[in-house]
Chain A
Amino acid sequence: MGMMITPLEIKTFIIETLGLEDLTPEAIGDDDPLFAGGLGLDSIDALELGIALRRRYQVQAAGDDPGTREHFASVNALVAYVSQHGADAPA
């Protein structure tokens, strides 16, 4: 498993998945925290992202895995995680 993915792709994916209609990819910093204190996403967003990542990139993010919190911390963390574990969804 593994694939090439850019920060811009992840940002666009986050905006589309979570309906952040007022945000542009440029407004999200690569290392900004996505949750508390940063972008301000909440626990429902985390669940929503987990499902969408599984659907789009075939990554299995388990809610009870302590590593999940780190993988979801920022755009760069998600890029690293998806690059390592992701794959394009079958058409």
Chain B
Amino acid sequence: MPSPSLSIPRLRACAWFEEEPAGLGLTAGSDGPLELGWGPPDVAFVEPMARRRLSRLARGFCHCAERLSPPGDVQVVFASRHGEAERTLGLLKELAAGGEISPALFSTSVHNAVPGLWSILKGNRAPATALAAGAETFGWGLVEALGALEAEPEAPVLYVYAEDRLPGLWAESEPQPGLHAVALLLGGATGRGLTFQREDVPEQAVVGPEVFQFLAAWREGQGTWGRWRGRFHPSCDR
């Protein structure tokens, strides 16, 4: 049986970290298909009355999405494992204490609130999807975005993944990377691409969160992402 493969047409990518990521071999700056940065998110383009509703996660989303957003409507796929965990925990604590919860915080705590706010900001009428899929959320979100592209190959798809550290009560024992967001603009019949082949990569060879491995492969044009081994190819015929 041939090993499954995944073809990813590569237009542009933007990755943003609140704190400089240590030990990942990534450096800030624009390098070919990847724009990489850290520090405060740049959301100055959002008018103040809308900006005040943006959560930390939403600010990371907007920073990356704005840099890749093509003119006109674009379908958005958003993925986050834990979404607005911090807001949700605050609301649950308020409810447990018998208090009234904030309508503004409640309405922006649901999983599709971030792409929803983005659609309103941009006047974007294309569909938006929000998903979570455990530890492999980044990969399954990418599969969802590729599926959307397959259904409508002429229209690019904006895929945005964002994740924040879990609040104290839910924090996991292993150290989690801080707030970060990654956006990929996918599509284009003649775009260059990355093809990943499923291979038996030993588990211990896989280092760091899957999204960081993917970014390194995207930038280098080859590399290992989870249990997939990828290489760059100059044209991606679909």
Q: Is A36 an interface residue (CB 8 A)?
A: no
Residue numbers in B under 8 Å from A30 (CB-CB) = none
- Please tell me if the beta carbons of B103 and A51 are within 8 angstroms of each other in the complex: yes
The yes or no answer to A18 lying at the interface (CB within 8 A) is: yes
Q: Among A21, A40, A44, A54, find the residue whose CB has the most chain B CB atoms closer than 10 A.
A: A44
SS of B interface (majority)? helix
Contacts of B48 in A (CB 8 A): 20-23
CB of B107 within 8 Å of the partner chain: yes
Within the assembled complex, what's the spacing in Å between the Cα atoms of A43 and B103?
A: 10
Tell me, yes or no, whether A62 is within 8 Å of chain B by CB: no
A4 → B minimal CB distance (Å)? 26
How far apart are B61's CB and chain A's nearest CB, in angstroms? 18
Provide the residues of chain B in CB contact with A44, threshold 8 Å. 103-104, 107
Q: What residue in chain B is nearest A40 (Cβ atoms)?
A: B49
- The 23 sampled A-B contact pairs (Cβ below 8 Å) are A18-B52, A18-B104, A19-B52, A19-B104, A21-B48, A21-B52, A22-B48, A23-B48, A40-B49, A44-B103, A44-B104, A44-B107, A45-B104, A47-B103, A47-B104, A48-B102, A48-B103, A48-B104, A51-B100, A51-B102, A51-B103, A54-B100, A55-B100
Q: Which residues of chain A have a CB within 8 Å of any CB of chain B?
A: 18-23, 40, 44-45, 47-48, 51, 54-55
